[in-house]
Amino acid sequence: MDKILRIDVSGQEVKAREEALGQYAGLGGRGLTSTLIAKEVPADCHPLGPENKLVIAPGLLSGTAAVNSGRLSVGCKSPLTGGIKEANAGGQGAQVLARLGYAAIVLEGARQNEDLYVLRLSKDGVKIEKDNDLKMFTNYQLMDRFIGEYQKNGSMLSIGPAGEMRMANSTVAVTDPEGRPTRHAGRGGVGAVMGSKGIKCIILDGTGTKARQPQDPEGFKKANRLFGEGLKKHPVTGEGLPAYGTNVLTNIINEAGGYPTYNFKTGQFVGAEKISGEAQAELESKRGGNPTHGCHRGCVIRCSGVYVDKDGNYLTKQPEYETVWAHGGNCAISDLDVIAQLDRLDDDFGLDTIEMGATIGVAMEAGLLEFGDGERAIELVKEVGEGTPLGRILGSGAAVTAKAFGMEKAPVVKGQALPAYDPRAVKGIGVTYATSPMGGDHTAGYAVAANIMKVGGDVDPLKPQGQAELSRNLQIATAVVDSTGMCLFVAFPVLDQPETFQAMIDLVNTCYGLKLDTNDVTELGKKILKTERDFNKAAGFTVQDDRLPRYFKREALDPHATVFDVPDAELDQVFNW
């Protein structure tokens, strides 16, 4: 993993060139995407203009035998937030790309026409082919066309119609072990930037490649064994997630009163039990689906799953907690089959389920449809995929939709929709929403762990005290995890088990021949965050962008009757380390 592949779309022919890592040596995943964007993209450029770039980077440990190391980072200046963006995806892409020797693919230059291109990467080199027959193909249609090329030994990265139409809510899809486009770099509109470069899909063929070898094979093997054992013995990663998937959180967060319902009006949903992880797993098993599945080879947590319809036919991946909330509880929809159909449409068109569900919630409050109307919600998502005038508005995200219909209540930060935890009842995650360089994003610093699950500490979710420090520490740690290629869920055992944390550091050290310690890891996280915040500042962001919408301070949330009351002064101190 010692080279960067640059794809220049600015000429009459799209051209590829390889170069050494150079100034980006030692970086991977989010650390590489954010550093390259900060160095090479003007912060004040238009996200869909020629100066922006899309960077696709596996993590530092991707392509090795390290368990759970298959996460892929996709970075750019975000069409949704206007700031720096790293969107993260599972699937097979990171492992194959790393085994092919690439630390990153960079899409750059000024597109000359409306042609579409397919990139093919293998051990034999790079091939670029114009293929305008693919215009407006959905992700599953692309799968049907190309699965024979990549299913056995590779992966496909692609955009659906949303990315092709450059919608601010558009994703880059990554295929799972079965070749299905079910894993998405979802947040921030990264698919629109890929669409702006005219790249419809990237087919990775790993035939003839081998796993990357560490510099200290025996030390690496030992660290990997200890790390895997730590994941398996933790109750979250070893029991809850494999049994019920991420949707195991529905009953937990609903009971805690932090489950946003009716467009963030209340903190509990009366139909939560019907769409919980427990109910979902039972239904999947009964129909012949599977609640336990790995999104990439080498995953030992296996929190993904397979959702089938009433006749036992594959419909979609097991909808994640965020998806079930966004299209379910937030919209007062308590039918798992409707939610699964919406998930399938989002994946097919290339839409972020969080942003799309939050947008439908805003549309419901605006009166476009009634809360609970699943069939009309399906029709609206189809309009987005078709690019109708209304679909174009909805495909621009929750903030634009609220503005179009004259509403204050857009649950967004920096233009990006908030995920499935109300910041008035889970205040640590509220700090992360407000201050993360990425916009409203739970994965940037998952304070739910300590606030609700009591993992890595115990900070009262309903009180403002200690929330800023909690978020700060988690944002630093997350930036590092995102750089390794590790799944974010490894944070649960890492936070609770010192030996598992050390094993993760040892994996990096033995892989690269380094001697990093805890302080070095912390400094890396701080450096990444500073790079991202400096970019946003140059793009025009101020401390006023590190705030939740005012109505979260003004309107109390039932059942606890709480508002978001972490002082602004504390928000402003999150990055003063």
How crowded is residue 370: how many other Cβ atoms within 10 Å of its Cβ? Answer: 11
pLDDT at position 37 is: 98
What's the mean pLDDT when you consider all of the chain?
Answer: 96
- We find that the CATH architecture of domain 245-422 is Orthogonal Bundle (1.10)
Q: Is pLDDT of 115 > 80? A: yes
DSSP strands (E only) in 109-243: 117-122, 125-130, 154-158, 172-174, 183-185, 199-205
pLDDT at position 298 is: 85
Report the length, in residues, of the chain: 577
Give residue-wise pLDDT tens across range 231-267. Answer: 999 999 999 999 999 999 999 999 999 999 999 999 9
pLDDT at position 12 is: 84
Q: Show me where the domains of the chain are located.
A: 3-205, 245-422
Structure-model confidence comparison of residues 284 and 13, the more confident one: 284
pLDDT at position 13 is: 87
CB 475 within 8 A of CB 436: yes
Mean pLDDT lowest among 194-198, 419-423, 485-489 = 485-489
pLDDT at position 297 is: 84
pLDDT at position 2 is: 87
Q: Is pLDDT of 1 > 80? A: no
Q: Could you tell me what percentage of the chain is helix, strand and coil, using 3-state DSSP and rounding each to the nearest 5?
A: 45, 15, 40
CB 470 within 8 A of CB 73: no
pLDDT at position 428 is: 98
Give residue-wise pLDDT tens across range 51-66. Answer: 999 999 999 999 999 9
Question: What residues have CB less than 8 Å from 148, skipping those under 6 apart?
Answer: none
Give residue-wise pLDDT tens across range 347-387. Answer: 999 999 999 999 999 999 999 999 999 999 999 999 999 99
User: pLDDT over 70 for what percent of the chain?
Assistant: 100
CA gyration radius, the chain: 22
The mean pLDDT of 335-345, rounded to a whole number, is 98
Rounded CA-CA distance 577/573 in Å is 8
* CA distances to 189, 204, 310, 536 from 415, in Å: 11, 33, 38, 13
Give residue-wise pLDDT tens across range 270-291. Answer: 999 999 999 999 999 999 999 8
Q: Is pLDDT of 488 > 90? A: no
Give residue-wise pLDDT tens across range 302-335. Answer: 889 999 999 999 999 999 999 999 999 999 999 9
Rounded CA-CA distance 220/60 in Å is 14
User: pLDDT over 90 for what percent of the chain?
Assistant: 95
Residue whose C-alpha is closest to residue 414's, from 445, 437, 395, 392: 437
- We find that the CATH architecture of domain 3-205 is 4-Layer Sandwich (3.60)
256 SS3 class: coil
306 SS3 class: strand
pTM of the predicted model, to two decimals?
Answer: 0.96
Q: Is pLDDT of 452 > 90? A: yes
